[in-house]
Structure 1
Amino acid sequence: MIYIRWSINSTPEALLDEGQVFDDDAFERPVETLVQTQFHPPIHTPTHTPTHTPTQIPVVYDTIKWEERQNAVREAFKHAWGGYVRDAWGCDEYHPISHRGSNLTGIGIGFTIVDSLDTLLIMDLKEEFQHARDWVARSLDFEQNGNVNVFETTIRVLGGLLSAYHLAGNDTLFLSKAIDLGDRLLGAFSSSSGIPYASVNLALKQGIPAHFVGGASSTSEATTLQLEFKYLSHLTSNEEYWKKAEEVMFKIDSLEKLDGLVPIYLDPHTGNFVGKTITLGARGDSYYEYLLKQYLQTSRTENIYLRMYDQSMDGVKSRLVNYSSPSKLLYIGELLNDEFNPKMDHLVCFMGGNFALGVTLGKTVREVKHLNFKQLEDLRIGKELTKTCTEMYFRTATGLAPEIAYFTSLSGPEKDIYIKKFDSHNLLRPETVESLFIMWRLTGDVQYREWGWKIFEAFENHTKYEGGGYTSLEDVTSIPPGRKDKMETFWLAETLKYFYLLFGPNDQIPLDKYVFNTEAHPLPIFMPTRKVRGQGWNRQ
C-alpha cells in the first residue's frame, strides 16, 4: 500500500507548550489526489444525497482495491442472509447450528427481516430486498397479545421501517407499518412520570414494568427512542410521538447529575434515578449517543441537547477516562458507588467515533477550520479510544474482542488488558467497526480501514458457519473458541453495514446528511416544521 499523510501525534497540552495555533493542520490528514471514487446508490437515491464525490472530501491514494473488500462484505451478508432465509424465514432470531428460528412473541415481529431492510438497500441486493418487502406486506402483523422490549423494538423494528421508508423512495408500505407500531409503543409512556416502562403489550398497547430493580427502566433504553419517534412525528405531523419522547428528555434534564453523568436506572413511577452506578456500557451507553444525535437530527436547532452532551462529556473526561499500564491505552471506566472501576464493555467502543462526531458534526476534520482546545482534546480522545478498542481485538488468540475487558493502571504489570472467563464471549457486536467507519469518514486516515479489514478477516475466520450464517463465540481467548448457536440481528443490521460503508465511497450515506440510530439505521437530518421544546426550555 502506498499513501501519504501528515502526522503530528502531539496532545493539545504539547501543542500549548510549543505555542502552536490550533487548526486542522495540527492533525494528520490525507493528501488530496485526482483519484475519484464511484458512487453506488441504494435502490432509491434521496434527492439531497450527492451523486458525485464532493471535491472538498479528501481522497487517499493507495494500491488496495477497496471495492473488492467491500464486495467481500457483501458476500458475507449474502452468506448470513441465505442461511436465515433457508432455515428461519420470518422468524425474529436465527440459530445457524441447529438450523432453526425462534420468535420473541407469538408469530414474531420481523426482528431479523425489518432490521435488515436498509442494509439490503444500501448493498443494492434487489431480489433479496423484494423478498423481504413482500414478507412485510403479507405477514408483518403487530396485533399480537405479547410483551416486547420497548427499546429493542423501537431501535430495530421502528427504526428499520423508517429507514427503509426513506431509502426506498418514500415507500408508504413501511410508513404505514411504522405508524401502526408507533401507536402501540406509545402505551409504554403511560407511567405517572412519563418515563416509559421497559416493555409493552402490543395488542393491549399497555406498558409493562421490568421484572427487576423494582420495575425500573434502563436509562439508556428510556432515552434512546427519541430519534425514531421524532422522525415519525416529522413524517406524519402527529405531535404526540414527539411530545412523548421529548418529555423524557425534559425530565432527565431536571434531575441532579454527576457532572452530566447519569445512573443507569430510572423509576417510571417517580421519574427519579435509581442507584449510583454510572457507565457508558450496558444500560447507560446510548443516552450519551442520542444527546449528540438529537442535536444533529433536527439541523442543530435544539441547542439544549448539545449543552447536555457537552456537560456529560466533561464528566466523562474528568471522572471516567483513564490510561492502562504499561502501554497507556486510553479507556473509559465506570463508577460503582462513587468508586472507579477499570472495566469497559465493548459497547463503550461507539464513543471513539462519537467523540469525533461531536467535534465535526458530520463534516470532515479538514472542513472544520480552527479547532479549539476542547475540540482538539475530544478528537484526540476519540482517536485513542478507537485504537484501544482495536487492541481489544488484536490482543486475543482469535483477533476478536471479548464482551468486557478490564484494564490495569498499576505500575509494572505485564499486560494492559485482562479478560475474565465469564466475559470472554463475542456476540458479533458492531461498536468498534462503527467507530472505525466514522473515524475514516471524518479524518480520511486509511489506517482505520486497514484495522477494519483485519477485524473483518477475523470474523470470517472464526464466526462464519459453513452450513449457513455466522455464530457468536464462547471464548475469544482460545482456539478453537467454541460457538454459540445464535446470529444476532445486529450482525446484519449494524456490523456488516458498517464494514460495507467503511470500505465504500464517502458519499454513500454522508454523515452531514444522516444520523444513524443506535441500531445503525440511517435517518435523514431534517428541519423541524414548528417550534419545538428542545429549542430552548427553561432549565431548572
Structure 2
Amino acid sequence: MSYSFPQTNPSFPSQHPYGDNYWRAASRSPNGRLPGYGLSGQPTGLPTPNRLSPFLNNNRATLPLYKDKPYFAPKRTGPRSKRRQTLYCGLTIFILTVLWYCLSGLTWNSEVKTPGSAKGAELWEWVQSLEKEGLEKSGKQKNVDWDARREKVKDAFIVSWDGYEKYGWGFDEFSPIAKKGTHMIPGGMGYIIVDALDTMMIMNLTSRVQHARDWIQNSLQYNQDSQVNTYEATIRILGGLLSAHYLSTRYPNLAPISDDDTGSPGEDLYIEKATDLADRLLGAFDSQSGVPFAGVNLNTSEGVTSQLNGGASSTAESTALQLEFKYLAKLTGESEYWQLAEKVMQVVDDQKAEDGLVPISIHPDGKFRGESLTVGSWGGSYYEYLIKQYLQTSEPIYKDMWDQSLMGIREHLITYSKSAQLTILGERPDGIRGSLIPKMDHTACFLPGTISLGATGGLPLSDAKKSPEWSGRQDEEMLLSNELMKTCWATYLTTKTGLAPEIAFFETDQPPKTMTDMYSPSSPLKPVSQSLDTEDKSQSGWRSDIQLQSMDLHNLQRPETIESLFYLYRITGNGTYREWGWEIFKSFMKHTPVVEYDNHYRFSPQRKRSDSSSSSSSSPLSGRIVGFTSLDNANIVPPLRQDNMEGHWLSVTLKYFYLLFSERDFIPLEDHVFNTEAHLFPRFQPSGELRTGWKRQER
C-alpha cells in the first residue's frame, strides 16, 4: 500500500513496561488497564516455543536452496560487490535489445495485438445490464455461479492489462484516459509489469505472462543512477519476482512456460533479477542503527535519507520488508538478507513502545520521531508483518509481539459510533494519552482479515476451534474482526457510487467510548453494532454515524477491504463476505471504467448512464471498456474521475477479488503468506543462520 505523509509531527512518546502476564486475567488489573481482552474472563497465556498451536506448527517441506545450482555466484561480501559487473552486463544487454528492436523493424511504442477490444465490448455490455437489475440481496442468492463471477474479474484484468500493454507498455504508471504511460524514475522500474506478473499466473493467462517475462528478460535493468523508495521496490518488485518464481515452480500448470530462459537452460530469470535488485537495496540498511533509509540509489547502492520529517521514514515502511528478504535468504542460502532485515525488528522492539503501539515515524538513527499512533497510513504494515512473519516461519517472538500490539490496539484505538455502535479503528495523533480521533483510513481495513488470520492461522474456523490452544481470546479476536469488517463495508454503502472514500470520520459520544467502557470481564461475548439496513437510504441510523469530508472522497482502487473479505470468507465460510465483495466489484465495474464509444455514435450529455429513466428506455450505448481509473470523488454519479490506473489495481485488488470468488482449496491460506502487496510466499521452517537471532528485552 502507498502512504501519505502525516500532517502532524508530535513529540517523542513515553514508554510503559510490558508485563509478562499481560494477556492473563479474569478481571481488571489494579491500574484500571485491561490486562487481557476482558470479554470472556478466561486466562490466555502467551504460547511458548514448545506450545505452539498445532495448526501453526505444521511440518513444512524444506525449500531447495537456489545456490546449490552450480552456476550460482559465490557468497557476496557487501551490498555493492557486484555493481561493476552488473553495470557492464546491463549495458551489453541494453545495446543488444536496441539492436533487436531496430533489426525487427519494430518501434518502442509498437502496438500489441490482443483480444482486449472484444473482451472490452463484452464487459461493457454486461456492465450496462447491471444498470437495470438493481442491487442484489446480499447473502440471499441461491445457486450463484461463482466461477462465472470469477471470470468477470479475469475479464476486468484482461481489459485493464491489454489497455496498458497497448498504450503504456514498460512504463511504471498508466493513464487509461489519456492512453499514455510515465516512469517513476528515468528508464523505469517495471513496476506495473513485475507487480502484476503473479496475478496473471494465478489467472492462468499464459500468453500475457510470456510477453511480460520476455520484457523482464530483455528490457528490465536495475543499474540506474536513480533513487527509488526502499519499501515500494521491496514489496512490489522484489516481492513480485519472488512470488513469480514460487508460482512457476510450485504451480507449474498455472500459465505454464515450457522453457525457463530460451538459450540459457537451467537459469531462473526471476531469481537472477531478484538477487540483482536485492543486492542494490541492501545499501539502504547501511545506516547507523540498521533501520533502512527511506530511499536507495540503485547504481551505487547507497541509502538516501528522506527529505521530509527531519529525515525520518515511515515505521510501517521500515518494518514491512522482512517477508521478502527472509524468503530470498531461504532460496539463496544467503543469511545477510535475513539478518539485515530482521535487525530492524530488534531495533524497533528495543525501544519498548508502550503497549506495543509504535509511533508512525522512525529515523535511520533507530529512534522514533513523534507520538502519532495509527493502524492506517504510515502505521499498518508494521502490525501486519508481525503476525505474517510468525506465520511464515513459526517463530514465537513475532506472535508475542503481535499479541501485545493487538491488545494495545484494543485498549487504545478501538471506539464506537454514536447511533449504531459501529466498531471504529481510531487514531491518537498525540500518543496513547492524547485524544482518540474517530478517523479510519481505507488502508486500515486490512486489519479485520489480518486479525482473523492471526486467530486461526488461516485454517477454517471450525478446524481451528478443535485445537487445544483455542480459547476465549481467539473467540474475541474473531468477534473484533467481524465487527471491524462490517464498518469497512459500511463505508462503501454510504457513498453514491458504492465505493469507499479514502478516509471516513465517525460521529461518537464525547469522549469516545472504548472497549473498556463497552465490556466488563463478566460481559457475555456478543456483537454490539446494529445491522446495516441497506434499503434505507436516509441519512439516519448507521448512515448518520459516518461523516464524509470533501477532501477525502477520492477512491484509489484500494484493495484492503477486499483482502479482509477474502480472509474472512476463507476462514469462516460465511457467504455474506463473498456477496459484499461482489457488490463492491460491480460498483467498480459501473463507475470506474474508461469507455471508447463507436465512432458512429455521438454521445449526448442528456443520456448519462446515471439517468436510470433514459438508460432503461434507450438501447445500450455501443462501445467497449478499455481500462479502469481511480476516482476524484466517489460520492457523486457520474463520479469525478482521475486519470490513473493504480498499480495495485492489477497486482492486489483484482487478485483478491479473483481469490475471493475461487474455491477455498485454490492456493490455500494455511500453506501461504501474502505480503502487503498480495505477493504470495510459502511458509517454511527456518534453520541454521536463517532464524531469529535476538530476544526481546524485559518489559
* Correspondence 1:305 to 2:398: yes
Mapped contact 2:40–2:473 kept (Cα < 8 A): no
* Correspondence 1:117 to 2:197: yes
For 1:364 and 1:62, how far apart are their aligned partners in 2? 23
For 1:503 and 1:403, how far apart are their aligned partners in 2? 25
Mapped contact 2:594–2:628 kept (Cα < 8 A): yes
Shift in Å at residue 535 of structure 1?
6.7
Range that drifts further, 307-316 or 525-534: 525-534
Q: Show structure 2 runs of 5+ residues with no match.
A: 1-35, 43-62, 65-139, 251-259, 261-267, 511-539, 597-625
* Correspondence 1:458 to 2:573: no
For 1:296 and 1:61, how far apart are their aligned partners in 2? 35
Shift in Å at residue 369 of structure 1?
2.4
Shift in Å at residue 385 of structure 1?
0.6
Query: Residues 438, 461 of structure 1: CA spacing in aligned structure 2 closer, same or farther, 3 A cutoff?
Result: same
RMSD over aligned CA atoms reads 2.1
Give 3-state SS (helix, strand or coil) of 1:207's partner: strand
Mapped contact 2:346–2:694 kept (Cα < 8 A): no
Match of 2:409 in 1: 316
Match of 1:67 in 2: 147
Match of 1:146 in 2: 226
Match of 1:220 in 2: 316
* AA of the residue aligned to 2:379: G
For 1:235 and 1:498, how far apart are their aligned partners in 2? 26
Match of 1:84 in 2: 164
Give 3-state SS (helix, strand or coil) of 1:134's partner: helix
* Correspondence 1:384 to 2:487: no
Shift in Å at residue 15 of structure 1?
9.0
* Correspondence 1:341 to 2:434: no
For 1:209 and 1:421, how far apart are their aligned partners in 2? 33
* Correspondence 1:105 to 2:215: no
Q: Percent identity?
A: 48
* Correspondence 1:185 to 2:314: no
For 1:509 and 1:110, how far apart are their aligned partners in 2? 26
Mapped contact 2:325–2:338 kept (Cα < 8 A): yes
| Structure 1 segment 63-462 matched on structure 2, within 5 A | 63-169=143-249, 172-269=268-365, 271-298=366-393, 300=394, 302-337=395-430, 338-369=434-465, 371-410=470-509, 415-462=544-591
Shift in Å at residue 531 of structure 1?
5.2
- 1:523 corresponds, among 670, 681, 686, to 681
Count of aligned positions: 487
Shift in Å at residue 492 of structure 1?
0.3
Shift in Å at residue 279 of structure 1?
0.2
Extract structure 1 runs of 4+ deviating beyond 4 A.
12-17, 411-414
Shift in Å at residue 61 of structure 1?
10
* AA of the residue aligned to 1:131: H
Per-residue Cα deviation, 1:334-371 (whole angstroms, up to 9, x for no partner): 00112211111000000010110111011110101254
For 1:157 and 1:183, how far apart are their aligned partners in 2? 13
| Structure 1 segment 468-487 matched on structure 2, within 5 A | 468-487=626-645
Tell me: higher relative CO, structure 1 or 2? Use CA pairs within 8 A at least 6 residues apart. Answer: 2
Shift in Å at residue 534 of structure 1?
2.3
Q: Show structure 1 runs of 5+ residues with no match.
A: 1-11, 20-45, 48-59
Under a length normalisation based on structure 1, what TM-score does the superposition of the two structures give?
0.87
Mapped contact 1:509–1:522 kept (Cα < 8 A): no
Range that drifts further, 525-534 or 330-339: 525-534
Mapped contact 2:356–2:408 kept (Cα < 8 A): yes
Query: Residues 482, 538 of structure 1: CA spacing in aligned structure 2 closer, same or farther, 3 A cutoff?
Result: closer
Shift in Å at residue 253 of structure 1?
1.1
* AA of the residue aligned to 1:88: G
For 2:668 and 2:306, how far apart are their aligned partners in 1? 38
- 2:648 corresponds, among 464, 487, 490, to 490
Shift in Å at residue 16 of structure 1?
5.6
Mapped contact 1:304–1:535 kept (Cα < 8 A): no
Per-residue Cα deviation, 1:396-415 (whole angstroms, up to 9, x for no partner): 10000000000111389871
For 1:76 and 1:533, how far apart are their aligned partners in 2? 41
Mapped contact 1:303–1:535 kept (Cα < 8 A): no
* AA of the residue aligned to 2:327: Y
Mapped contact 1:145–1:204 kept (Cα < 8 A): yes
Give 3-state SS (helix, strand or coil) of 1:437's partner: helix
* AA of the residue aligned to 1:313: L
Query: Residues 143, 445 of structure 1: CA spacing in aligned structure 2 closer, same or farther, 3 A cutoff?
Result: same
Shift in Å at residue 267 of structure 1?
1.1
Under a length normalisation based on structure 2, what TM-score does the superposition of the two structures give?
0.68
* AA of the residue aligned to 2:419: P
Match of 1:22 in 2: none
Match of 2:599 in 1: none
Query: Residues 97, 253 of structure 1: CA spacing in aligned structure 2 closer, same or farther, 3 A cutoff?
Result: same
